[in-house]
Amino acid sequence: MELVSPFTLAYAYKRSLGPVLSRFATALRDGQLLGARTASGRVLMPPLEYDPDSGEDIADLVPVGTEGTIQSWTWIAQPKARHPFDTPFAWALVKLDGADTAFLHAVRADEAEVATGARVRVVWGAERSGSIRDFHFEVSDQPAEPAAPVEDTEPVTRFKAPTRLDYTVRAGAVTADFLRGILKRELNGKRCPNCTKVYLPPRGSCPTCGVPTDEQVPLGQAGIVTTFSVIRFPFEGQMLEPPYACAHIVIDGADVPLLHLIGECDVDDVRIGMRVEAVWSDEPAPTLASIRYFKPTGEPDADPDSYESHV
């Protein structure tokens, strides 16, 4: 069985804009386009905080036109999810009247209208927040319609920049072996042929020797807590309600600890040397979370000499 899983990496970022770009963003929100004028008088669009030719600071933002000319274009017949429109549109490099550089934006038009040299005009969105997406272009030789006013008058100093990527993740050969064992409620390590250390979870390459760890080593379910931490504060994605302990557990026969949760134990009773065993979920899936947590076995604590190298 090939082990494949969808995975989404998403972050909710906010970015600060700084003194130059916040003025640009505030003007966008207010329905105006500003370019950056360099010391030599060149007007850059989009505005930069520095002159790309000299590296000098830019302090001067000046209004540029809301009409311009297409310098280059591409027609997108099948828009992607991240594109600004879900129906066919064009990207274009647009040189606005009053700007000396072209900037990239999206043009809503019929395919036949889009050409190098075509005149375009800004179409303002009704809802604007100070983002480059507050407007788009359409092909027209008429002046742009003015932007409808928006209520907010505070300067725009930050903007939301959410990030999202969707992946299809495959387990490597060694991880796949390990996870197939998990499905059977087994913990199988792998041994390095060179240093003979047993890794659990196994690694495709011994981190000490840099050689493949091929030999499978079946292990038991119990081991020793070699360090732990008590989590007392709430955060998104928690598996247990705080307070709870997570711990390094060296399973009998393994040479490296496994990181997992401790359950069925008062957090004040968790200690180094405590013997614990795995408690499995009813329906294991190919994930280490198939072990819900490790609970105390009730045995006497391990002899400190037996785990000395781990602390």
Partner 1 sequence: MFRPVHISGFAQLPSDVEDLDEAEMVQRVVSGALGDAGLSRQDMGFWCSGSNDYVMGKPFSFTMAIDGIGPWPPQRESHVEMDGAFALFEAWVRLQHGDIDHACVYAFGRSSLTDVDDVHAMELDPYSLAPLGVGATDLAALQARAMLDSGRWTERDFAGVVSRATGADIDALLAAPYVANPLREHDRPTGADGAAAIVLSVGGDGPRIDGLEHRIDAHQPGMRSLIEARSARLAGEAAGIGPVEVAELHAPYAPQMLLLQQALGLADGVTVNRSGGSQTSEIPMVSGLVRIGEAAEAVRGGASRAVATATAGPCLQHNLVCVLAG
| Residue numbers at the binding site for partner 1 (CB under 8 A) | 2, 7, 9, 15, 17, 21, 24-25, 44-46, 48, 52, 71-78, 80, 82-84, 91-93, 95, 101-106, 116, 131-133, 159, 161, 163, 165-176, 203-212
Residue closer to partner 1 by CB (options 102, 267) is 102
| Smallest gap from residue 165 Cβ to partner 1 (A) | 5
Structure tokens of 50? 């520095």
| Smallest gap from residue 144 Cβ to partner 1 (A) | 19
| Smallest gap from residue 40 Cβ to partner 1 (A) | 14
| Smallest gap from residue 233 Cβ to partner 1 (A) | 21
Residue closer to partner 1 by CB (options 45, 265) is 45
SS3 of residue 68 by DSSP: strand
- Measured CA to CA, the distance from residue 147 to residue 30 in angstroms comes to 8
Residue closer to partner 1 by CB (options 216, 221) is 216
Residue closer to partner 1 by CB (options 162, 300) is 162
SS3 of residue 49 by DSSP: coil
Residue found by looking up tokens 């391990």 in the block: 302
Strand order through the sheet with 187-191: 198-199, 187-191, 215-219
Q: Are 228 and 247 in contact (CB under 8 A)?
A: yes
Residue closer to partner 1 by CB (options 167, 280) is 167
Per-residue CA distances from 250 to 148, 182, 209, 221 (Å): 65, 17, 21, 10
| Smallest gap from residue 111 Cβ to partner 1 (A) | 8
- Measured CA to CA, the distance from residue 230 to residue 245 in angstroms comes to 4
